[in-house]
């Protein structure tokens, strides 16, 4: 559905309204917000500028591009992939089809890690932790922690070479490119005793947001996720717990057991993941952090 005849005489506000209506008719759930993001991206302006110029004419030279953006969104492509960007914890991150789109609930994991680490490694003592982010994807956790605590040593790993390239670019973009080591490998394998860098890195804090969707649930996911986000970063095996089983079994084979393990989990998985951690080592405390919907979304083990 083209808006060419409808948009020629329209102001920016009317272009947004008709674009949102076309997305809504195509079954897009967040039609208003997505149309606004696409319009801001197309025009290269801020929301404040859009509101200020609400009655200005829509530029005819951008009509074909506008229709193209709307068509991609109507076909189910996530708006973040279309514009190539998503914000996380107040910072802009590049996102491509090689990485998951950052979710707001993962910000709560970063905040919980910062709070616990500040208690375990108080600033005046001068001892700073080393953090490993496993399955870093776009790099949101590693980069956020490095940016928030400039004295920490941070490493980030991923099985996907393409994802690591996105994470490297995001680290440079956010001013921490020289402070994060990027390692390609499967879960904790590179960091085990005898691994490629196992004897070189003492991990104090292990964070991860691994794949946790059960394989059989993937066909029923929202089409934006199912058809566009990388299945490598979604599929957690038959029950969604394979990455946690593997990492829990690998913990004792690290040169040093981390003092903090902080993992994001799927709905209904927190108790099972906490049991895996209890079986792997002795912890002083295992706690859950709820997401914005009240679901136990993060499991943190502390010793």
**Residue-range domain boundaries for the chain:** 4-75, 102-302
- Token pair listed for 54: 């609400």
Helix H or strand E segment including 285: strand 285-290
Whole-prediction pTM value?
0.91
Using an 8 Å Cβ cutoff, are 163 and 136 in contact?
A: yes
Query: Would you say 158 is a known binding-site residue?
Result: yes
Distance CA 299, CA 34 (A): 32
Q: Is 192 left (phi over 0), alpha (psi -120 to 50) or beta?
A: beta
Euclidean distance between the first and the last CA atom of the chain, given in angstroms as a whole number: 58
pLDDT given at position 196 = 73
Query: Would you say 57 is a known binding-site residue?
Result: no
Burial class (CB in 10 A: 0-12, 13-18, 19+), 271: exposed
Buried b (16+ CB within 10 A) or exposed e, 125-142: eeeebbbbbbbbbbbbbb
| Residue owning tokens 């706690």 | 287
In the chain, helix, strand, coil percent, each to 5?
45, 15, 40
pLDDT given at position 151 = 93
Query: Would you say 138 is a known binding-site residue?
Result: yes
Cα 98 from chain centre: 12
Integer CA distances (angstroms), 84 to 30, 142, 148, 169, 202, in order: 18, 20, 24, 13, 35
* Four-point Cα dihedral 64, 67, 69, 73, nearest 10: -160
| Residue owning tokens 């502390």 | 302
Distance CA 34, CA 239 (A): 33
pLDDT given at position 180 = 97
Query: Would you say 211 is a known binding-site residue?
Result: yes
CATH number 1.10.8 given to 4-75? yes
pLDDT given at position 198 = 64
Residue 252 DSSP class: G
Query: Would you say 136 is a known binding-site residue?
Result: yes
| Binned average pLDDT, 10 residues per bin, the chain of 303 residues | 52 94 94 96 94 93 95 96 97 97 97 96 84 98 97 96 98 97 96 78 96 95 92 94 97 95 98 97 96 97 97
pLDDT given at position 5 = 46
pLDDT given at position 194 = 74
Residue 81 phi/psi, 5-degree rounding, is -70, -35
Fold of 102-302: Rossmann fold (3.40.50)
Query: Would you say 135 is a known binding-site residue?
Result: yes
In the Cβ-directed half-sphere of 216, how many Cα atoms lie within 13 Å?
2
Query: Would you say 196 is a known binding-site residue?
Result: no
Query: Would you say 240 is a known binding-site residue?
Result: no
Distance CA 10, CA 14 (A): 6
Using an 8 Å Cβ cutoff, are 254 and 203 in contact?
A: yes
pLDDT given at position 7 = 39
């Amino acid at each position: 559905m083209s808006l060419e005849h409808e948009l020629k005489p329209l102001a920016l506000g009317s272009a947004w309204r008709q674009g949102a209506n076309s997305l809504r008719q195509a079954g897009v759930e967040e039609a208003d917000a997505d149309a606004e993001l696409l319009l801001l991206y197309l025009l290269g302006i801020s929301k404040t500028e859009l509101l200020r110029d609400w009655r200005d004419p829509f530029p005819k030279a951008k009509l074909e591009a506008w229709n193209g953006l709307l068509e991609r969104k109507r076909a189910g492509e996530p708006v973040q992939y279309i514009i190539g960007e998503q914000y996380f914890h107040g910072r802009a991150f590049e996102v491509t089809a090689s990485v998951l789109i950052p979710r707001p609930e993962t910000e709560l994991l970063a905040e919980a890690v910062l709070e616990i680490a500040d208690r375990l490694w108080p600033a005046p003592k001068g001892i700073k932790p080393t953090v490993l982010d496993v399955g870093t994807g776009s790099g949101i956790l590693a980069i956020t922690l490095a940016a928030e605590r400039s004295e920490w040593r941070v490493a980030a790993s991923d099985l996907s070479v393409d994802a690591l390239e996105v994470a490297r670019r995001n680290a440079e973009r956010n001013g921490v490119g020289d402070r994060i080591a990027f390692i390609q490998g499967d879960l904790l394998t590179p960091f085990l005793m005898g691994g490629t860098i196992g004897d070189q890195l003492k991990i104090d804090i292990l964070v991860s947001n691994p794949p946790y969707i059960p394989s059989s649930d993937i066909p029923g996911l929202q089409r934006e996720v199912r058809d566009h986000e990388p299945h490598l970063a979604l599929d957690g095996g038959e029950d969604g717990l394979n990455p946690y089983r593997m990492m829990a079994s690998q913990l004792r084979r690290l040169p040093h057991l981390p003092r903090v393990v902080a993992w994001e989990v799927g709905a209904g998985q927190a108790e099972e993941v906490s049991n895996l951690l209890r079986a792997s080592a002795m912890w002083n405390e295992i706690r859950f952090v709820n997401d914005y919907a009240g679901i136990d979304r993060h499991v943190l083990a502390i010793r």
